[in-house]
Chain A
């Protein structure tokens, strides 16, 4: 199958800033990480992917079987001081909009990624722990997409009605040829502004 992919700004420029009560402010940038993760993932899942302009409503290329438009709708996190545990936890909520080549909706597929990480020795590595929790959540979302794609809302029905040999068309759940990006957050400067509580006052 050939997938057309649109990467909207909500995904590629995603920044989350939060100032938990009595806690340092966190700014988490996931734009580049999202883009790297989806490129590696979708290139591994389908015969071919073609990136489309965000403003293009329908696929121009006749090769394209369907269009995917992933958005990161929500990020939540908790730090050890909030949860009373020694874990940094990150939740990512994605919506993958699946469309026919003419732009007609096949279905909306909601995916949650979850990651947790120890705060480390004496709680000194909080920035790294938050980053690692975010990486784990990204990988968790990616794993859910690979494993669950054929069961995504409308996907199987759409392929069965549109394609002569659906078994051949459905992507086989196999290992990604290039694996996952080595460090999807390395270029992203994930934690841009980890200020101390004192800095806020």
Chain B
């Protein structure tokens, strides 16, 4: 298996959306002002050429806890939702329905552990028929999590008859690290993988009123992963 393409996109993330109304602009400015600092790094490795026909779908699963650290449910929901929107949107088949249809072969205990086990799964009685019936082309397994890597500072608040307030500064750093492995069911092979690392520092400075500047690393990882997943699957020509 050759590694055909490696793409690295380290950048600092700043939230921007297009065409908001006046109220939206204020909310956006406030939101941008109140966001912590984040650094996003997304890489992908493509093993084979990809592409998807009209009517074909993908299924997104958290990886099995028998083999790795499965991504959180809310991350899976977020990626599923985002992959289905935008210009490169993909059709995503509900994972619970697919898991039920293939029972017992996609349970944590029985699911294929690597792409090398995929042909064995597809050869089991009834499995290929269920895959074809639903027009599933790719299975995406996502592993990883969001962890607090460090924290510090001090913030204290007090209240009395004349009023109250807070003073100090507290901060913490989160790392959201996820890896999506894409299996091509047509070929029975691994198509490649995408890794996303988002590092973010949240700060709450307080001078009477605390102002939280929160770095939403998991949301940024979801956004980056979904966008990369869309282009990974739809951009068919692989590097040679």
Which A residues fall within an 8 A CB radius of B?
114, 116-118, 120-121, 136, 139-140, 142-144, 146-147, 172-176, 179-180, 182
Contacts and interface: CB of A to CB of B under 8 A. Distances in A.
A172 B110 contact: no
Contact of B109 (A144, A172, A176): A144
Given A114-B109, A139-B103, 7 more contacts: A117-B73, A144-B109, A174-B125, A175-B101, A175-B125, A176-B103, A176-B104
A146 B74 CA distance: 30
A142 B125 CA distance: 18
Contact of B125 (A120, A139, A172): A172
A144 B107 CA distance: 10
Interface of B: 65, 72-74, 100-105, 107-110, 124-127, 130
A147 B125 contact: no
B65 A121 contact: no
Of B72, B73, B101, B102, most A-chain CB atoms within 10 Å: B73
A143 B103 contact: yes
A87 to B, nearest CB: 9
17 contacts: A117-B73, A120-B73, A121-B74, A136-B108, A139-B104, A139-B107, A140-B108, A142-B103, A143-B103, A143-B107, A172-B125, A174-B126, A175-B102, A175-B105, A175-B126, A179-B103, A180-B103
A94 to B, nearest CB: 14
A146 B65 CA distance: 20
B65 A116 contact: yes
Chain B, interface SS category:
loop
Contacts of B126: 174-175
Chain A, interface SS category:
mixed
A168 to B, nearest CB: 15
B72 A118 contact: yes
Of B72, B74, B100, most A-chain CB atoms within 10 Å: B100
Nearest to A144: B109
Contacts of A117: 73
B151 to A, nearest CB: 17
Contacts of A143: 103-104, 107, 109-110
A140 B110 CA distance: 9
Contact of A179 (B74, B101, B125): B101
B131 to A, nearest CB: 11
Query: 10 tightest A-B contacts by CB?
Result: A143-B104, A175-B126, A143-B107, A179-B100, A174-B125, A146-B104, A180-B103, A118-B72, A143-B110, A180-B100
A121 B216 CA distance: 13
B167 to A, nearest CB: 26
A159 B74 CA distance: 47
Nearest to B71: A118
B111 to A, nearest CB: 10
A140 B130 contact: no
A117 B62 CA distance: 11
Contacts of B124: 173-174
A175 B125 CA distance: 7
